[in-house]
Amino acid sequence: MSLLKVETTGHVTTLTIDRAETMNPLGAPGDGDAFRAACDEINRDLETRCVILTGAGRAFSAGGDIKAMRDKTGTFGGATPAISDGYRDNIHLMLRALHGLRVPIIAAVNGPAIGLGCDVACLADMRIASERAKFGVTFLKLGIVPGDGGTWILPRIIGDARAAELFYTGEVIDAATALDWGLVSRVVPNDELMDEARTLAAKIAAMPPHSLRQAKMLMRQGQKVSYDTALELAANTQAMMHTTEDHAEGVAALIEKRAARFEGS
């Protein structure tokens, strides 16, 4: 069985982590290639304007494969250099692929998102949680450290102090706490989760595709450049967008008091 189930409806692609029988563990050999292939295809396809990322069954992802850790197999097998390469060439490949998606990502967190699973959810631009969702970065409880980039992304979402509390205690928080802390933007009943995600995705997918991708790029760059540099990037990008047919359509639609129809031109 492949890791990811890929379904596209209109301008929205849904990626489902599809190992429901074992709570969707991640990090097996080949997982990085699976994510890279899916994300590369999405980046090439200008018809895709939004991605929904979710898990099959009762979990989003329970994280790394604990049995593989116990048995020292797959990514977690061999001597120190081999394990390091397993992270770089497989787990980190998966994370880089998600981080490199050029369209907005909605994580529809349907259940536990633990360890690597939490890190994957945090790479989304937005997170909607089922009332059954739980979040934790429990690496220290296993005698290891956060090896998946979570120490970079989680403090950017919930702040240093709360991220430190989760990392250093290994505690797992529920959906209500995640909402209070800003880790998710909304919590909904479990049976409404995917409908809520699709509704949000449809609103995003109605936007002009070139401007949408450029807006995501500007947000990313804004995290790491000076204000002056951000303004310069915005000026240059804005100038390009002003020459598009989608801009003309947006202006015309506003003046004519109708819904815009953006074609990606």
C-alpha to C-alpha distance for 114 and 194, rounded to whole angstroms: 20
**pTM of the full predicted structure?**
0.94
C-alpha to C-alpha distance for 39 and 49, rounded to whole angstroms: 12
Cβ atoms 39, 98 nearer than 8 A:
yes
CATH of the domain at 168: 3.90.226.10
Do 128 and 195 have their domain in common?
A: yes
Do 163 and 199 have their domain in common?
A: yes
Do 25 and 134 have their domain in common?
A: yes
Do 200 and 216 have their domain in common?
A: no
Do 144 and 214 have their domain in common?
A: no
Number of domains in the chain: 2
E strand or H helix at 9, and its extent? strand 4-9
Do 53 and 168 have their domain in common?
A: yes
CA count, 13 A, side-chain hemisphere, 12: 20
Cβ atoms 30, 64 nearer than 8 A:
no
Over residues 16-71, the pLDDT tens digits come to 999 999 999 999 999 999 999 999 999 999 999 999 999 999 999 999 889 889 99
C-alpha to C-alpha distance for 133 and 131, rounded to whole angstroms: 6
CATH of the domain at 244: 1.10.12
Provide the residue range defining the domain that includes 159: 4-205
Do 166 and 214 have their domain in common?
A: no
Q: Is 61 helix (H, G, I), strand (E, B) or coil?
A: strand
C-alpha to C-alpha distance for 7 and 14, rounded to whole angstroms: 5
Do 170 and 234 have their domain in common?
A: no
pLDDT at residue number 264: 86
Tokens representing 98 are 């998600």
Do 193 and 222 have their domain in common?
A: no
Query: Using the 8-state DSSP alphabet, how is residue 194 labeled?
Result: H
Q: What is the mean pLDDT of residues 113-132?
A: 97
Over residues 15-26, the pLDDT tens digits come to 999 999 999 999
Instruction: Please indicate, yes or no, if residue 262 is contained in any of the structural domains.
Output: no
C-alpha to C-alpha distance for 160 and 213, rounded to whole angstroms: 29
pLDDT at residue number 86: 87
Do 179 and 230 have their domain in common?
A: no
Do 122 and 229 have their domain in common?
A: no
Instruction: Please indicate, yes or no, if residue 136 is contained in any of the structural domains.
Output: yes
